[in-house]
Amino acid sequence: MTLLVVGLSHRSAPVSVLERAALAPEARGKLLQDAVSAEPVTESAVLSTCNRIELYADVDKFHAGVAELSTLLARHSGAGLEELTPYLYVHYEDRAVHHLFSVACGLDSMVVGEGQILGQIKDALAVAQELHTAGRLLNDLFQQALRVGKRAHSETGIDKAGQSLVTFGLEQLAGGRDVETWARGKRALVIGAGSMSSLAATTLVRAGVGELAVANRTVERAERLVRILSEPGGPGAANGLAARAAAMTSVPAELGLADIVVSCTGATGLVLAGEMVAAAREGNTAPLALLDLAMPRDIDAAVHRIEGAHLVDIESLADASADAPMAADVDKVRGIVSDEVAAFGAAQRAAHITPTVVALRTMAADVVAGEIARLDGRLPDLDDKQRAEITQTVRRVVDKLLHAPTVRVKQLASEPGGAGYADALRELFDLDPQTVAAVSRADTRADRHDARERA
């Protein structure tokens, strides 16, 4: 296993650097394709959220891999390599597995235990599968990470500590008051219609806001979200929610009507400039609460200085989360992660020897076939029944002789330091390295075909 991850997150970098390094959605696919085109990389996947950017890869050289992945992150983000380098972290092999599993369980999130990261990991895998940049290693890794995250949430009380970034942000806006009491009857504006914005809209509706406007660059997506929230059985049906979709050009007017604003778009520039918010505040004495969940930011930081406006953004959430209490079950989750990392490593090491075992059995089958052919030449009078019985007997002998060694070598190979057993097996049986490599290539082609089928 040659797994490598290079990245930066809210734990390693200030929000200002994360903001400049944020990847636009269209840049992620190009990053993956450039990564697998690089000499030391055979597979790649990128996990990009509002508070982390991580590039995962299967590499054949550690130092060359680190240099290549770091350069690619800088090239495709908005920050230069010199600016990123002090904040980048690197994890290799088991440490990289441990990192992703911890991320999947919410242990590395800004709000410990939050479950939204699982959806983001699933999306990262789906993109890598769609672009065919994920092979056996990354498919296995990300799928196992999803299972580990689900296990942590089902077997422990991590959810007691965990909450979505939306909920945490609204709690900060509410200033310690109950969110439902604070939001009930207010007029809300949600800018964006992606997953985070949809979660924000749903949370606000369930909290009892009286009116909701959803603004999005593509109005049809905003309309679809409004329909989902308002339809019979939806979260807004019970309280008679007044919801509407709006174009982005209507945001200044909607801003003047709102008590609560939540913005999370994929825009590369500001969506709400300070002047726009100040204009909406003219003649309005009611307080305006704004939550910016975008990276890079949607709302001008100058809004902090506007009287009557209270802005909570990713930077202030990072500061607030540093003091958030951790659940007692976090230790249980850490134990789950450690166990799952060991199991994943063992499975990968065992899989590494499989092509050698397959090549050994192929060689044995060829030897049997050759000896049966020689027997046919020496004993041409054997009838079909006799020939079949002799062939089956020889095969059984060979299978019995190979069974115990191959089972044992797989067990030994799964243990730490077991990588050398494949080399020993090749040496003892004089296996052709090209035959073993051909089995590995066939496995890789099958893995990529499976990935395309899943995508």
For 371-430, what is each residue's pLDDT tens digit? 888 888 888 888 889 889 998 998 999 888 888 877 877 777 666 666 677 777 777 777
Spatial CA neighbour of 141 closest among 75, 211, 246, 57: 57
Q: Residue 197 pLDDT > 50, yes or no? A: yes
Q: Residue 327 pLDDT > 70, yes or no? A: no
Q: Residue 142 pLDDT > 50, yes or no? A: yes
- Mean pLDDT on 131-140: 94
All residues at 6 or more sequence positions from 443 whose CB lies less than 8 Å from its CB, including other chains: 136, 354, 355
Share above pLDDT 90 across residues of the chain, in percent, rounded to a whole number: 52
Out of 188-202, 231-245, 374-388, least confident range: 231-245
Residue 329: the pLDDT is 76
Residue 225: the pLDDT is 93
Cα distance between residue 55 and residue 28, in whole Å: 10
The pLDDT mean for the chain works out to 86
Give, in order, the Cα–Cα distances in Å from 15 to each of 52, 203, 293, 319, 324: 10, 25, 12, 10, 18
Residue 317: the pLDDT is 84
- Mean pLDDT on 329-339: 91
Q: Residue 443 pLDDT > 70, yes or no? A: no
Residue 451: the pLDDT is 45
User: 6: helix, coil or strand?
Assistant: strand
Q: Tens digits of per-residue pLDDT, 161-188?
A: 556 788 889 999 999 889 999 999 999 9
Residue 218: the pLDDT is 92
Residue 134: the pLDDT is 96
Residue 245: the pLDDT is 95
Q: Residue 237 pLDDT > 70, yes or no? A: no
Residue 240: the pLDDT is 73
Q: Which of 50, 183, 188, 330 is catalytic?
A: 50
Task: Give how far the C-alpha of residue 208 lies from the chain's centroid of Cα atoms, to the nearest Å.
Answer: 32
Confidence grade of residue 76 (pLDDT, cut at 50, 70, 90): very high
Q: Cis bond leading into 296, ω under 30°?
A: yes
Residue 182 vs residue 435, higher pLDDT: 182
How open is the CA angle 93-94-97, to the nearest 5 degrees?
95
Out of 102-106, 174-178, 211-215, 243-247, least confident range: 174-178
Q: Residue 60 pLDDT > 70, yes or no? A: yes
Cα distance between residue 153 and residue 159, in whole Å: 6
Q: Residue 455 pLDDT > 50, yes or no? A: no
Residue 50 falls in the annotated catalytic set: yes
Residue type, 132: H
Residue 409 vs residue 7, higher pLDDT: 7
CA-based Rg of the chain, rounded to a whole angstrom? 28
Q: Are 64 and 308 in contact (CB under 8 A)?
A: no
Residue 53: the pLDDT is 94
